[in-house]
Amino acid sequence: MNKRLLLISNSTNAGEPYLGWCGEMIKDFAEKHNVTDVLFVPYAGVSMGYDAYEQRVAAVFDTLGLKIHSLHRADNPVEAVKQAQCVAVGGGNTFHLVYELWRLGEMKLIRERAEEGMPYMGWSAGSNVACPSLKTTNDMPIIEPERFDCMNLVKFQINPHYTDFFDPKHGGETRQDRINEFLKVNQDINVVGLREATALSLEEGKLRLIGRNNPLVLFKYNQEPKHYGLDSDLNFLL
């Protein structure tokens, strides 16, 4: 297994700078795989726009010793993916991200490069699209993609920003309720609830939870959720 993945739940924690909590994690991942240039995929950044998104990420990556090139500026996007040292997919709206990746013919190509061993990192929506589909996103379907299928770099679904917080004044579904609905109609797929300030690392065939001490929650159809911490063996998910 050659895949090198860093799948981050969130970019920002309350009261902390953008990508502040995971900056060293990104730097370590890049250094380990001799990455100095990163191809950034900004398509989830609907509200801020691609140019502003590129600038925001570039400002942080520069402090980490990394140079980024945004895919939306490439004269030949397909060739840019083929030549990339590393791909980083930013968070935002997952539906728009998936729409653009299929429309521009980049979904399968990024998957192929990552399967070959090109380092891949993503946060929030960028982690969600590493899964078999976008179906466990938290986002509003603001646009209809060609299909819901994603990169299938891992065989389970990620629910980024997972929380089991319940506001007694809120009458809607909890996050667990929504995941259970997914499992009701997708009974053979596991769902990882990835809490804030955590990430999944897949390197050298080993899947690990890294970051702060916030256990992930594993959901399986018709079973009680299970919690796994930083020292847990997660290779059974592969």
Q: Of these residues, 11, 72, 139, 201, which one is catalytic?
A: 139
Q: pLDDT, tens digit, for every residue of 7-26?
A: 999 999 989 999 999 999 99
State the Cα angle at 187 between 148 and 233, rounded to 5°.
95
Q: How many CB atoms lie within 10 A of CB 194?
A: 26
Q: Of these residues, 124, 127, 133, 201, which one is catalytic?
A: 124
Q: pLDDT, tens digit, for every residue of 190-225?
A: 999 999 999 999 999 999 999 999 999 999 999 999
Catalytic site includes residue 9: no
Q: Which sequence spans correspond to the domains of the chain?
A: 5-161+192-214+233-237
User: 102 pLDDT exceeds 70?
Assistant: yes
Domain 5-161+192-214+233-237 has CATH 3.40.50.300: no
pLDDT of 167: 76
Catalytic site includes residue 170: no
pLDDT of 173: 84
Closest Cα partner for 140 from 129, 125, 157? 125
Catalytic site includes residue 139: yes
